[in-house]
Structure formats: structure tokens, C-alpha cells
Amino acid sequence: MNLFSDTALFDEGRKRFTDFGLPETDLRLWEQFFTKKDADTYFTLLRETTPWQQRTRKMYDKVVLDPRLTAWYGGTNGLEWTPELLAIRRVVEKECGTSFNRVLLNYYRDGDDSVAWHSDTLPADGKHHAIASVTLGDTRLFKVRHKMRKDVMLNIPLTHGSFLLMGETMQDHYEHHVPKTSRPVGPRINLTFRISTGEAA
């Protein structure tokens, strides 16, 4: 199977922009934000050079493994920024006009890896900030739902080289989720650039 089988849809030089117009927050998507060549290069470098870890968490009365691999960069306890991560950050910051000081990498190895419904934890400075999310690798569904309104829900396929910007009020009013899938999918790396004054979570 071609690692990036659905990237034949790439139309080089055209960034497809979508503003989802959600109530109470901003959510914006740039598809093909990175060229296929750059996205392929970054994916391979990050997959091979990142010191991935599988963290544990307590769920009810059990300690379970996270269904994905992760790595934190920046901040007091994070890893040191690499040239590749700094290069990606510069392009993202230029587009959205926001400066980020940390990044969380998630590695979804196959369709069994996922992340449950959640809102991101409140940073140490007591307020939420914008989060910039970059996807490299196979397409996975990113689901969004309003915490109070059942009529507000989105299913967004995040494709190779895409950039999703979540506004600073997104975590207050919405939850998000990357579900498992039974369809054959290759690996995916997601980078979420953040602003935080706290320790690595």
C-alpha cells in the first residue's frame, strides 16, 4: 500500500482554505499547506528521529497505555527543538500571526491508534490559547462537537500537509476526537503547536 495513497489529490501550489464558521470560536483549515515534497520529507524525518514514548494514564481503577505514541518539545521539561520542528513552526506562525513555544507530537501507527473525546487542559497561565495543528501522513478523521449544543458537530478529514487552527476559545466550548478506524490506513504524525508557561504534561 502506498504510504500516502490519498495524496494523489495534491494540486501543487493551491492551498484550499476553509473557515468553518463555528459559534463561539474560530476553526480554520488550510489543506495542502505544505507541498507534498516537504510534507513527505518532514514525515520521514520525524518518524525516524523522534524519541517516541507510549505514556500511561489511569482510567477508572486501571492503568492503561495511551493508544498512540507521543513526544513533547519546548518548555521546562520538553525536548530541545530540532531544525525541522523550528522550520515547520516558522511557516505556521507566519500564516496565523501567533508565536508558539511548545509542540506535542502524536504518532498514530495505524487505525487502532486514536484519541478519546476531550478538551485540552488549561495552561498554567489560566487561559486557553490558539492551537496550531499540522498533519503529516495518512488521512484521519478529526471529529468536533459542541459541549452544550448537540446540533453543532463536524467530521473533518485531516490530510497530508494540512494545517488546522483552533481558536483560543475552542477548548472552552468544544471537544475533539480522533476515532479508531477499521479501514486500512498508514501512519500519521500530528503536531500541535501551543503556548504554555507550564511544565510538560
Using one digit for the tens of pLDDT, what is the confidence trace for 153-171? 999 999 999 999 999 999 9
Residue 162 placed within a domain:
yes
Residue 136 placed within a domain:
yes
Across all residues in the chain, what is the average pLDDT? 90
Q: Which of 128, 189, 194 is nearest to 162 (CA)?
A: 189
Residue 169 placed within a domain:
yes
Structurally, how many domains does the chain consist of? Answer: 1
Find the helix or strand (DSSP H, E) in which 115 lies. strand 115-118
Higher pLDDT residue, 159 or 60? 159
SS3 per residue for 140-199: EEEEEEECCCCCCEEEEEECCCEEEEECCCHHHHEEEEECCCCCCCCCEEEEEEECCCCC
What residue has cell string 494514564? 57
Q: Which of 104, 98, 102 is nearest to 71 (CA)?
A: 104
Q: Is 36 left (phi over 0), alpha (psi -120 to 50) or beta?
A: alpha
- Contact (Cβ atoms closer than 8 angstroms) between residue 152 and residue 141: no
Residue 15 placed within a domain:
no
- Contact (Cβ atoms closer than 8 angstroms) between residue 111 and residue 184: yes
Residue 23 placed within a domain:
no
3-class secondary-structure state, position 65: strand
Find the helix or strand (DSSP H, E) in which 43 lies. helix 36-49
Residue 178 placed within a domain:
yes
Q: Which of 36, 12, 1 is nearest to 160 (CA)?
A: 36
User: What pTM, to 2 d.p., does this model score?
Assistant: 0.89
pLDDT range class, residue 196, cuts 50, 70, 90: confident
pLDDT range class, residue 11, cuts 50, 70, 90: low
Full domain range(s) for residue 50: 31-194
- Contact (Cβ atoms closer than 8 angstroms) between residue 3 and residue 186: yes
Residue 135 placed within a domain:
yes
Distance in angstroms (rounded) separating the CA atoms of residues 16 and 34 = 11
Using one digit for the tens of pLDDT, what is the confidence trace for 127-142? 899 999 999 999 999 9
Using one digit for the tens of pLDDT, what is the confidence trace for 12-37? 557 899 999 999 999 999 999 999 99
157: domain CATH number is 2.60.120.590
Residue 54 placed within a domain:
yes
